[in-house]
Every structure is written in structure tokens, then in C-alpha cells.
Chains A and B, each alone.
Chain A
């Protein structure tokens, strides 16, 4: 099955800084999604982005399906952005394969 590799595994930022998180996929991208997991465990869906670019406030994501990778951009980071960021993909939007995640810590 598809394998998902995320980088970097850990990231520490000063409040206000920008960052880029990356996902590489071993197979073609079908239902790529980005999630943020808060400290209480809830996974929040940030983007459904099998291709192209989307923006939502300070967050944006770009997927280059032909090259099997996706990028998540966080601009002007805030302490509330801290948590774990996951990307996931699958043939079916319900049966997703997740990466190991990027742990983001934003310091004030």
C-alpha cells in the first residue's frame, strides 16, 4: 500500500515565524488531506487537496500530484498552531494512510 513520509519530524518556531511542512507519497495521490491534532487528541481537517493550491487564513497547502508531494505553509505562526500535523491519503477518502506527523511547537 501507499507509504507516507513527513518532514521534518519536529519543528520549534518563535511566534510570528513562517514554516513549511512536507509530505512525500510512494504512490499516486488520490484523496490527500492535511490534519492538525490538538493537545487533547482531536484531529481537525485543514485541507482536502488532491491537487493544486488552497488557502485558509494563515494556512495554505499545495499538492503536486505528478511528483507525489504536498506542502503545508503556516505563516505568522501563533502559539495556538502548536500540535501535531498529519498528512494522509488513500484510494478512498475514508480509508486513509497517515504519515508519522510533524510535531510543531510555537514559542511566545
Chain B
């Protein structure tokens, strides 16, 4: 049973560029959430997708957007990258909203 999988694992982008990160949820899970974790801090909630719609959103600007596909997989898009967007981006999935499972994350460096 595959857990939550994310791609790519590492990437480097230039300021102003756009990035897309991908996530496949754990088998049987229908809800996907995205978190940003800056170095030395705890993860911060970006948004949650369920039934292909954004259901909840944290305190992140509109440059952060997402999508959920019919197979429950999800993408996180960040436009107009800033140096401060450098972080570990974590995808999590759940079913019925209690225990959540995280992927290994995508390490984004903006230069």
C-alpha cells in the first residue's frame, strides 16, 4: 500500500518563476492538504482540497494555488516566486479528517 507520494523531491527556481509540485494521496484517502515548512519552524497550513474544490485556506497569498484531480491527486502552484518561498512543501492526505499522513516533501530553493 503506497503512502503519500510527492514529486519532485528537490528543485531550484529563480525569483519570479513559477513552480508546480505534485502529490498522490495514500490509497483510500480523498482529502489532500498542503503545508509549507520553513527551516527551523513547524509546518504551516496552506490549503485543503476535497471533491476537487478548495475547502479551507490558511494565511497565504493568491500566488499559492492548487488543484485536485478526479483520482484525488493534487498539485500546488506558486507564481512569482520570492526568496522567502524557499521551504519544504509537505502534502498530507486523510479520509474522514482525523489521522493525516504526510509525504516526504518537496524541497524548494528560490535563488
Contacts and interface: CB of A to CB of B under 8 A. Distances in A.
Interface of A: 4, 31, 33, 35, 40-45, 48, 86, 88, 90, 92-101
A45 B100 contact: yes
Interface residues of B, number: 25
Interface of B: 31, 33, 37, 41-45, 48, 56, 58, 88, 90, 92, 94, 97-105, 107
Main secondary structure of the interface of A (DSSP, over half): loop
Given A33-B99, A33-B100, A42-B105, A95 B58 contact: yes
B99 A48 contact: yes
A42 B102 CA distance: 7
Main secondary structure of the interface of B (DSSP, over half): strand
A94 B44 contact: no
A51 to B, nearest CB: 13
B88 A95 contact: no
Contact of B42 (A42, A90, A100): A100
21 contacts: A31-B97, A35-B102, A41-B37, A41-B88, A41-B105, A41-B107, A42-B103, A45-B99, A45-B101, A90-B45, A93-B97, A93-B98, A93-B100, A94-B31, A94-B48, A94-B94, A94-B97, A95-B45, A96-B100, A97-B45, A98-B42
Nearest to B96: A93
Contacts of B56: 92, 94-95
Contact of A95 (B48, B98, B102, B104): B48
Contacts of A45: 99-102
Q: Which 7 A-B pairs have the closest CB atoms?
A: A98-B42, A43-B102, A93-B97, A48-B99, A93-B98, A94-B33, A42-B104
Contacts of A48: 98-99
